[in-house]
A and B are shown apart, each in its own frame.
Chain A
Amino acid sequence: TSAGKQTMRPLMLCQPFVKASLLKGSFKTIVVLPKYVDEGEWIALNVFEFFDYLNRFYGVMTEFCTLRNCPSILDYSWLDANRQPTRLPAPTYIEYVMTWINNRLNDEIVFPTKAAPTTTASLITPSAHSANNSGASTPVAGQPGDWIGKEGGFPPSFFQTCKAIYKQMFRVFAHIYHTHFDKIVHLSLEAHWNSFFAHFIHFAREFELLEKRDMEPLKELIDAFDAQIAANSSTNKAT
């Protein structure tokens, strides 16, 4: 039959669901670093909230994401105690990932919440210095000895940690899109889910939190979202 000849398009890319979205307008409003605000603090809060809501969505999927239904997760593997890559069932993998992220977010050293975000000390010494900055850190914010989140007391590795968290969160998105999107649609969650993912991606782009190759598993979807945004803005201009 003719239907058989077509390669089955994943549901997430099909009309009308690929178009479903809760949010209209530009993501810039909620993504761009607000003026005068500390970049580390902004990224920290957003990573925190993405995790919180991703966790909620995944919580809805736990009935379906079981050892039996999901014996594997794309081609991701988890490093075991001997740092050997291990293939895990999706629910186990995701549980590890979510616990790992949760522990990072709760770690006062990586994501400080207690100390005041800016100490006067950091204002008194404006010149770059290498005092307690281990050379291992990635100097992302320009000069060496300067890093994203430095002002707020985030460690030099802060941005790298956020990238690692982002990469893992992306995998959870990918698993849900590839394996459970039909459940999302059954539950009429697709507009919320799509918009949440689009927000996640826009934020990643704004702050370069994801590598291109990491986005590969959902590339078509991301392209489709981009195309829609482009189409919308051109029709808006036309009228």
Chain B
Amino acid sequence: SGSLQAGSDYVVFERNTENFSPQTREKAAATKLKVELFYNQNVQHAVERNQRRMELERRLASETRMSEERKDRQRQQLGKHESSYLRLRRTRLHPDDFLTVKVIGKGAFGEVRLVQKKDTGKIYAMKTLLKSEMHKKDQLAHVKAERDVLAESDSPWVVNLYYSFQDSVYLYLIMEFLPGGDLMTMLIKYEIFSEDVTRFYMAECVLAIEAVHRLGFIHRDIKPDNILIDKEGHIKLSDFGLSTGFHKTHDQAYYQRLLEGKGPNSPAPNQGRNSVLVDAIHLTISNREKINTWRQSRRIKAYSTVGTPDYIAPEIFIHQGYGQECDWWSLGTIMYECLVGWPPFCAEDAHETYRKIVNWPETLYFPDEVQLSYEAEDLIRSLITSADKRIGRHGADQIKLHPFFAGVDWDSLRSIDAPFKPQLKSITDTSYFPTDELENIPDAPAVAAVRAHEESGAPFSSDDTGLPFIGYTYKRFSQLHSKGGIP
């Protein structure tokens, strides 16, 4: 077809994928990325295995009084550990391996539960996603690749993924459990934050978004529900890219960027605790009706299939193409919400919100009764503005230098005391999640349909287990290993 003989064994080959389906092209790009990751990991595993062995040999060499027999036993012991890691890597997990403690979140395609792994007793957050819904969105291949790259990132700003697996109906993601809830729940509880508290969360968000961008990603869906709070009160961005409807089909260049962006992304050095940056939360008591009514509908919106468009940058709606700066717009709307009590373009329905966002020059407005510092209002206005003028478009440093952040020690942010540290009674404490409320939230239609089907006992058609999903299993070994435990 495309080949042309030239010389004995040299061919000129005109590559052309125009006639291939987008699915095939996407699968090819994802396969490439996966294979590269596979070999990088393979080498990494070999290196780490070697290091562990050398370390043991060095230790044994220094043990002059230990008998050869005992030394040998220690070597065998290491071998056994290594062997069980190998086994773990081909272990296919099953939902039955986990015990549900509580449902802690709901989404359009499934739910998030606090679970315990039966054999080890370890606690995780398990997110379930309906495969049928994801098929429709035609984004599996790159979602999987994206997930795996993120999971590998080891960034302190991104929620860690430990395993993923599937059955015929769901994808399961086993993540670290962040017991502090999310920023939305916190805003519902506290209504508004002081500027100091806002500064803390916004500064952490700046670093988190910067980390995501350095990995080559655009988050596109930063909102208070996706900003999770760890047990120290610091934030992490929740896993993403799974259910937003804004993904376009990505091309080779997308994956290329992704790989190139995956540079060494070392966490901020730990410079010891210093708590000068922020005061503890001190709340402005305000019983403003507006906040309350808005918040009530806010939670409902969070569970709905459509999601809330409140935090999305206008260029995304207009389909004129967008870049990383769209995440900085979202940050601006969240900052506004932290200080004012509701997001700048909130409205009765999603359609009206779209309209307001697109007409932001007319609709962005700061209520008179809210007192904002000049710096805070200026930063918000520099974030909520057209993409070509937006602060942060030349990198996060631009934002870090804004006067609102004066005095923030960017290098030690994650190690200072957070303004709000969850008070936890146990490792399975879910008091920061609206678990009671969740029981009354109906399942999303697709989820409800599947559940009804399950209860009727009818089998699922077997093509659900078709090729694209075979072997979708991810396990995070290096991490598990370095922490010394087999889960």
Choice from B30, B53, B84, B92 contacting A36 with Cβ under 8 Å: B53
In the complex, chain A residues whose CB is within 8 Å of the CB of B15: 185-186, 188
In chain B, what residue has the closest Cβ to A14? Answer: B11
B83 within 8 A of A: yes
Those of B395-428 within 8 Å (CB) of chain A: none
Given contacts A36-B78, A185-B15, A187-B28, contact A106 B471 (CB under 8 A): no
In the complex, chain A residues whose CB is within 8 Å of the CB of B82: 34, 36-37
- Whether the pair B467, A11 counts as a contact (CB closer than 8 A) is no
B306 within 8 A of A: no
**A interface secondary structure, majority:** helix
In the complex, chain B residues whose CB is within 8 Å of the CB of A189: 28, 31-32
- Whether the pair B38, A53 counts as a contact (CB closer than 8 A) is yes
A83 within 8 A of B: no
B75 within 8 A of A: yes
Q: Binary interface profile of B, 1-45, with partner A (CB < 8 Å = 1, else 0)?
A: 111010011110101110011011101101110111011001100
Those of A161-195 within 8 Å (CB) of chain B: 182-183, 185-189, 192, 195
- Whether the pair A116, B84 counts as a contact (CB closer than 8 A) is yes
Choice from B9, B27, B42 contacting A60 with Cβ under 8 Å: B27
Choice from B9, B16, B467 contacting A13 with Cβ under 8 Å: B9
In the complex, chain B residues whose CB is within 8 Å of the CB of A63: 20-21, 23-24
Q: Binary interface profile of A, 17-49, with partner B (CB < 8 Å = 1, else 0)?
A: 110001100000110001111100110110011
Choice from A14, A59, A183 contacting B467 with Cβ under 8 Å: A59
A6 within 8 A of B: yes
In the complex, chain B residues whose CB is within 8 Å of the CB of A23: 39
Given contacts A45-B90, A117-B84, A187-B17, contact A60 B31 (CB under 8 A): yes
A234 within 8 A of B: no
- Whether the pair B92, A113 counts as a contact (CB closer than 8 A) is yes
A9 within 8 A of B: yes
- Whether the pair B5, A56 counts as a contact (CB closer than 8 A) is no
B80 within 8 A of A: yes
- Whether the pair B39, A55 counts as a contact (CB closer than 8 A) is no
B351 within 8 A of A: no
Total interface residues in chain A, CB < 8 Å = 57
A156 within 8 A of B: no
- Whether the pair B31, A15 counts as a contact (CB closer than 8 A) is no
Give Cα distance in the complex from A30 to B13, angstroms.
Answer: 32
In chain A, what residue has the closest Cβ to B470? Answer: A55
Given contacts A37-B86, A113-B91, A185-B13, contact A3 B5 (CB under 8 A): yes
- Whether the pair A111, B39 counts as a contact (CB closer than 8 A) is no
The contact size tier of chain B is: 35 or more
Give Cα distance in the complex from A46 to B202, angstroms.
Answer: 46
B135 within 8 A of A: no
B89 within 8 A of A: yes
A102 within 8 A of B: yes
In chain A, what residue has the closest Cβ to B3? Answer: A11
B485 within 8 A of A: no
In chain A, what residue has the closest Cβ to B32? Answer: A192
In the complex, chain B residues whose CB is within 8 Å of the CB of A105: 90
A52 within 8 A of B: yes
Given contacts A38-B79, A53-B35, A116-B84, contact A15 B11 (CB under 8 A): yes
Those of B449-478 within 8 Å (CB) of chain A: 467-468, 470-471, 473
In the complex, chain B residues whose CB is within 8 Å of the CB of A117: 80, 83-84, 87
Task: Pull 30 A–B residue pairs with CB atoms less than 8 Å apart, ordered by A.
Answer: A6-B5, A11-B13, A14-B3, A14-B9, A14-B10, A15-B11, A23-B39, A29-B46, A34-B53, A35-B79, A36-B78, A37-B82, A37-B83, A44-B87, A44-B90, A45-B89, A48-B89, A55-B471, A59-B467, A63-B23, A98-B470, A113-B90, A113-B91, A117-B80, A118-B83, A185-B2, A186-B2, A186-B16, A186-B20, A192-B32
Q: Which residues of B contact A (CB under 8 A)?
A: 1-3, 5, 8-11, 13, 15-17, 20-21, 23-25, 27-28, 30-32, 34-36, 38-39, 42-43, 46, 49, 53, 75-76, 78-80, 82-84, 86-87, 89-92, 252, 467-468, 470-471, 473
Contacts A29-B43, A34-B46, A45-B89 known; 12 new A-B pairs at CB < 8 A: A6-B8, A14-B9, A17-B11, A34-B49, A35-B53, A37-B86, A41-B83, A45-B90, A56-B31, A105-B90, A186-B16, A189-B31
